[in-house]
Structure 1
Amino acid sequence: MNIQDFRKRQQTLSLDGVINEPLNVAYTDVGEGEPLLLLHGIPTWSFLFHDVIDTLSQHYRVIAPDMIGYGYSDRRDQFDRSIEFQADFVERFLEHLDVDSAHFVAHDIGGGVALILADRKPELVRSMVLSNSVAYDSWPVDEMLALGHPRNAKMKPEEMTEKLVESFQFGLSRPERLTEEFKEGIVTPYQERDGIVSLVRNAASLNTNHTTPLTSRLGQMQQPTLLLWGEDDKWQPISTAEQLVKDMPNAELHPMKNCSHWVPQDNPEEFASATLEFLQKIPVAV
């Protein structure tokens, strides 16, 4: 799906109860059945899942927001950008949609958000599919630390595009998956001046202190968890997933060969099929 069709399908809402004024949220909400929440990471937005949403929505109600400060959600300089804040946003967002429990499919820092909520509000998180997720002190990576320097807020659109495309080249094992459709879709919101500034602010907010406190509590997270991990990832190596399997009581690992960091783009077919196979083993909520 190209960005034009993806944007046409997105909805918008004005969300109160997170900061002292409403936040604008862009999101996809398609399909029927149990809610399945897709959470992207940095420096992407919900378009990361453009090739898996339709498959997943044949079985679930798929909800894919742009997290605050990302994509086409609110990008103003009026809120925190940390994953703790994103967890606050997700909790309120699902409440607004009358969703009291969902399966979480989360990539990169989205996985950190899922872990925070699995600990903070376990009844909200029915299960987790964590894909090349941040955890422990595995992040932020050098590229994001560099991007977060305030001077980068003055980047020209073509400079930001070059930086993002370089990261996709590095984080995909399959060069043919760096399609023009994917590049255009991911970089477009970060061609606008407020999008560039917002992405730099997001990078500056990354803080390992928001996942290290969870380390001692991983053993208490009872949610069925699938670690759907690209084996070639240099940023979030599979050793992180292997440690999570040891520390979480109901976690299992599905390594994805010839895949690196951007797993939903590297191999969307295996990403979707492995997710569905895992989720369909979980009893339907009554």
Structure 2
Amino acid sequence: MKDWWQATFPQGRQSVIITDTQGYPVQIAYGEKGTGKPLILLHGMGTWSYNWRHSIAPLSKYCRVISFDAKGYGFSEKPLTRREDSGHQIVELARIIQELCDEPPVIVAESLGGLIALSLAQQYPGLVGRLVVVNVPIFAEKLPHWAMWVLAQTPLEIIGTIDSLRLAYLFAPLFREVMAIERRRVLFDPSMLTQEDIYWITYPFIEIPGTLVKVAEELQIAAREIEHWQSQKPNLLSKIQNKLNAIQCPTLILWGAQDSWFPVTHGEKLHKSIPNAKLQILPNCCHDAAAGSSKDVNTAIVEFLRDTNFL
């Protein structure tokens, strides 16, 4: 099968070295397409740049589109000898922007990526030109999927053993089928998921050692943050929630009308909390808006950038 990076980006898969929150160099995989002002695409939990497959070419007609895999995901480096700190993605996103952009970019971020982007706009306002967030777990009360809960409760040593034995690789057909079933559940039209989609969605888990461990680690961090939020202990969720009114850049909030993971009421509450924000509900859209409602997402982004004089 043709390499997705080579087929999607003129220069294929590129890499940039950043320093993570613990001071270690980390290699980040990315691709870029188009010219003009920068627009960064940030994926959610457990996915990678491929989830933006329907947005890269359309948006590259207007901007220099940069899609990257966060540390531990997709084709980016997966440091297995050290544990991550809560909120590490925020600092790492800032450093990626500083390396790849010569002016504040548009940040388009879905799900967990949207939470990271909201915090970035609070902590590093000078690094964000425009902000678009999609189906964000800003008011999440639990992990939204049973598999996430299982991974969050399983000791990393056990997951590391499963990963090192390459069980996902040995049972690849079964793994792909299970993943396909679950991915279809977050699409309004499940039939749109192709066999090629399933191949690339599961590729990092099957072919790149360390992926399962790092995703599980991120889920455990997320579960701990939600638990601390519920027990009113210091946590990142409350910190972001309490400073939403500090976000001053023009912001577009997109929300799937049928998102069963995070209801539309969360989007409405988020909209009321950000001073310079617009909320747009996406009809016939579940949680995976980037893949399932890409035309509506792309149109909304372009209109927003025009309305806010970015284009």
Q: With structure 1 as the length reference, what TM-score do the two structures score? A: 0.91
**How far is the alpha carbon of 1:105 from its aligned partner?**
0.4
Q: 1:189 aligns with which of 195, 200, 204?
A: 204
Task: Give the 3 Å change call, closer, same or farther, for CA 111–80 of structure 1 in structure 2.
Answer: farther
Percentage of identical aligned residues: 28
Q: 1:14 aligns to what? A: 17
Q: 1:236 aligns to what? A: 262
**How far is the alpha carbon of 1:264 from its aligned partner?**
1.1
Matched, 1:3 2:4: yes
**How far is the alpha carbon of 1:211 from its aligned partner?**
2.1
Q: 2:108 aligns to what? A: 105
**How far is the alpha carbon of 1:6 from its aligned partner?**
4.2
Q: Secondary structure at the match of 1:211?
A: helix
Instruction: Give matches, 1:118-267, under 5 Å.
Output: 118-143=121-146, 144-148=148-152, 149-150=154-155, 151-153=158-160, 154=162, 156-157=167-168, 158=172, 160-192=175-207, 193-206=209-222, 207-208=225-226, 209-267=235-293
Aligned counterparts of 1:251 and 1:98: Cα–Cα separation in 2: 24
Matched, 1:92 2:95: yes
Aligned counterparts of 2:82 and 2:89: Cα–Cα separation in 1: 10
Aligned counterparts of 2:267 and 2:120: Cα–Cα separation in 1: 19
Q: Secondary structure at the match of 2:249?
A: coil
Which shifted more, 153-162 or 170-179?
153-162
**How far is the alpha carbon of 1:200 from its aligned partner?**
2.0
Which shifted more, 163-172 or 264-273?
163-172
Task: Give the 3 Å change call, closer, same or farther, for CA 86–55 of structure 1 in structure 2.
Answer: same
Q: 1:24 aligns with which of 19, 24, 27?
A: 27
Matched, 1:67 2:70: yes
Provide, for residues 243-282 of structure 1, a one-character-per-residue CA deviation record: whole Å limited to 9, x for no partner.
Answer: 0111111222111111101101112111111111111112
Provide, for residues 156-195 of structure 1, a one-character-per-residue CA deviation record: whole Å limited to 9, x for no partner.
Answer: 2136434432321211111122111221111101113322
Aligned counterparts of 2:64 and 2:85: Cα–Cα separation in 1: 27
Matched, 1:35 2:38: yes
Aligned counterparts of 1:174 and 1:83: Cα–Cα separation in 2: 35
Aligned counterparts of 2:292 and 2:48: Cα–Cα separation in 1: 16
Task: Give the 3 Å change call, closer, same or farther, for CA 218–77 of structure 1 in structure 2.
Answer: same
- Structure 2 runs not aligned, ≥5 long: 227-234
Equivalent position amino acid for 1:107 in 2: E
Computing the radius of gyration from Cα coordinates, the structure with the larger value is: 2
Aligned counterparts of 2:259 and 2:85: Cα–Cα separation in 1: 23
Aligned counterparts of 1:75 and 1:216: Cα–Cα separation in 2: 32
Q: Secondary structure at the match of 1:9?
A: coil
Q: With structure 2 as the length reference, what TM-score do the two structures score? A: 0.84
Aligned counterparts of 2:98 and 2:275: Cα–Cα separation in 1: 28
How many residue pairs end up in the alignment?
A: 285
Aligned counterparts of 2:249 and 2:76: Cα–Cα separation in 1: 29
Which shifted more, 157-166 or 94-103?
157-166
Equivalent position amino acid for 1:189 in 2: P
Residue 69 of structure 1 contacts residue 81 of structure 1 at CA under 8 Å; is this kept in 2? no
**How far is the alpha carbon of 1:145 from its aligned partner?**
2.4
Which shifted more, 174-183 or 103-112?
174-183
**How far is the alpha carbon of 1:204 from its aligned partner?**
1.9
Aligned counterparts of 1:17 and 1:171: Cα–Cα separation in 2: 32
Task: Give the 3 Å change call, closer, same or farther, for CA 133–93 of structure 1 in structure 2.
Answer: same
**How far is the alpha carbon of 1:100 from its aligned partner?**
4.0
Q: Secondary structure at the match of 2:114?
A: helix
Which shifted more, 122-131 or 110-119?
122-131
Which shifted more, 255-264 or 77-86?
77-86
Task: Give the 3 Å change call, closer, same or farther, for CA 189–232 of structure 1 in structure 2.
Answer: same
**How far is the alpha carbon of 1:81 from its aligned partner?**
4.4
